[in-house]
Amino acid sequence: MVPWPIALLSLFYGVIATVSAATLWKTFSGASDRPLLWPAMWLALSSGVMCGLPLLKPWARGLAVAASALLVAITLAVAGVVVLAGRPLMALVAT
């Protein structure tokens, strides 16, 4: 049986994987002009965490910590760029 915190974390990364896959699909179908690097990276990272955590693999725990740290760093970087653009309230909304 999978402990409920690991199940919830797997569900969270499943949502990230789904959003990344949808973004990749939009890019491949021509509906969006975004670069493929970030959605592909998040899809690979979150899919690995989503599949490895419920199996209680030790590598998945390290991958989950790395993904969480990367998610925090990117969120704070985006908020910093928005603050530097002169919109601190929007930065608070972004984080």
Q: Which residues contact 24 (CB under 8 A, 6 or more apart)?
A: 36, 39, 40, 43
What's the rounded Cα separation, in Å, for the pair 51 and 63? 11
pLDDT digits (tens, 9 = 90+) for 25-59: 999 888 888 888 989 999 999 999 999 999 999 99
Token duo for residue 35: 């670069």
Query: HSE (CB half, 13 Å, CA atoms) of 11?
Result: 7
- Indicate whether this model's pTM tops 0.85: no
What's the rounded Cα separation, in Å, for the pair 14 and 51? 9
74 close to 27: Cβ distance less than 8 angstroms: no
Average pLDDT over residues 50-71: 92
What's the rounded Cα separation, in Å, for the pair 84 and 78? 10
